[in-house]
A and B are shown apart, each in its own frame.
Chain A
Amino acid sequence: MSETTTMTNQQDVLVRVEGLKMWFPITSGLFQRTVGHIKAVDDVNFQVVRGETLGLVGESGCGKSTTGRAILQLYRPTAGHIFFGDEELTTMKGDALRKQRRRMQMIFQDPYASLNPRMTVGAIVGEPLEVHGIGNKKENRERVQELLRIVGLNPYFVNRYPHEFSGGQRQRIGVARALAVNPEFIVLDEPISALDVSIQAQVINLLEDLQSEFGLTYLFIAHDLSVVRHISDRIAVMYLGKIVELTDRNELYANPMHPYTVALLSAVPIPDPVIEEQRRRVILEGDVPSPANPPQGCNFSTRCPRVMDICRERDPEFKDHGSGHFVACYLYD
Chain B
Amino acid sequence: MGTLLEVKGLHTQFFTQDGVVNAVNGISYTLDEGETLGIVGESGCGKSVGVMSLIRLIPMPPGRVVAGEVWFEGRDLLKLDDDEIRQVRGNRIAMIFQDPMTSLNPLLTIGRQITEALELHLGMDKQQARARSAELLALVGIPGAEGRLDDYPHQFSGGMRQRVMIAMGLSCNPQLLIADEPTTALDVTIQAQIVELVKKLRDEIGMAIIWITHDLGVVAGLADRMIVMYAGFIVEESAVKELYSNPRHPYTLGLLGSLPRLDEERPTRLRSIEGLPPDLIDLPPGCPFYARCAYRIERCQRENPPLETIGPHHRVACWVDVNGVVA
Q: Which residues of A contact B190 (CB under 8 A)?
A: 59, 287
Q: Is B273 an interface residue, CB under 8 A from the partner?
A: yes
A271 touches B272 (CB 8 A): no
Q: Which residues of A contact B241 (CB under 8 A)?
A: 273-274
Shortest CB distance B17–A (Å): 16
Shortest CB distance B271–A (Å): 7
Which of B189, B192, B255, B271: most chain A Cβ within 10 A?
B189
Contact bitstring A192-203, B, C-beta under 8 A = 1, else 0: 000011111110
Number of contacts between A and B (CB, 8 Å)?
132
In Å, the complex CA distance between A5 and B88 comes to: 59
Q: Which residue of the partner chain A has the closest CB to B217?
A: A269
In Å, the complex CA distance between A325 and B231 comes to: 46
In Å, the complex CA distance between A283 and B215 comes to: 20
Q: Is B82 an interface residue, CB under 8 A from the partner?
A: no
Q: Which residues of A contact B257 (CB under 8 A)?
A: 201
Q: Which residues of A contact B18 (CB under 8 A)?
A: none
Q: Which residues of A contact B240 (CB under 8 A)?
A: 273
Question: Contact size class for A?
Answer: 35 or more
Q: Is A208 an interface residue, CB under 8 A from the partner?
A: yes
Cβ contacts A to B, 18 pairs, < 8 Å:
A59-B190, A197-B258, A197-B259, A198-B42, A198-B255, A198-B258, A201-B258, A226-B260, A253-B262, A263-B189, A264-B189, A265-B262, A268-B217, A270-B220, A271-B216, A271-B244, A273-B220, A284-B193
A229 touches B264 (CB 8 A): yes
Q: Is B261 an interface residue, CB under 8 A from the partner?
A: yes
Q: Which residue of the partner chain A has the closest CB to B44?
A: A196
B217 touches A202 (CB 8 A): no
Q: Is A276 an interface residue, CB under 8 A from the partner?
A: yes
Q: Is A149 an interface residue, CB under 8 A from the partner?
A: no
Q: Which residues of A contact B259 (CB under 8 A)?
A: 197, 201, 226, 271
A1 touches B188 (CB 8 A): no
Q: Is B191 an interface residue, CB under 8 A from the partner?
A: yes
Shortest CB distance B67–A (Å): 28
Measuring CB to CB, which residues of chain A are less than 8 angstroms from any residue of chain B?
A: 1, 59-60, 166, 168, 196-202, 204-205, 208, 223-227, 229-231, 250, 253, 263-277, 279, 281, 283-284, 286-287
A226 touches B217 (CB 8 A): yes
Q: Is B43 an interface residue, CB under 8 A from the partner?
A: yes
Given A60-B187, A223-B188, A230-B260, CB of A283 within 8 Å of CB of B216: no
In Å, the complex CA distance between A269 and B240 comes to: 15
We find that the number of chain B residues with CB closer than 8 angstroms to chain A is: 47
Given A59-B187, A269-B218, CB of A230 within 8 Å of CB of B256: no
In Å, the complex CA distance between A277 and B192 comes to: 14
Given A202-B274, A281-B196, A284-B189, CB of A271 within 8 Å of CB of B258: no
In Å, the complex CA distance between A60 and B272 comes to: 27
Q: Is B312 an interface residue, CB under 8 A from the partner?
A: no
In Å, the complex CA distance between A197 and B214 comes to: 8
Contact bitstring B252-282, A, C-beta under 8 A = 1, else 0: 0011111111111101011111101000000
In Å, the complex CA distance between A82 and B257 comes to: 39
Contact bitstring B217-245, A, C-beta under 8 A = 1, else 0: 11011010000000000000000110011
B188 touches A268 (CB 8 A): yes
Q: A267-B191, A271-B256 are in contact. List 14 more A-B contacts (CB 8 A).
A: A196-B214, A201-B270, A201-B273, A202-B273, A264-B189, A268-B217, A270-B262, A271-B217, A273-B223, A273-B240, A275-B220, A283-B193, A287-B157, A287-B159
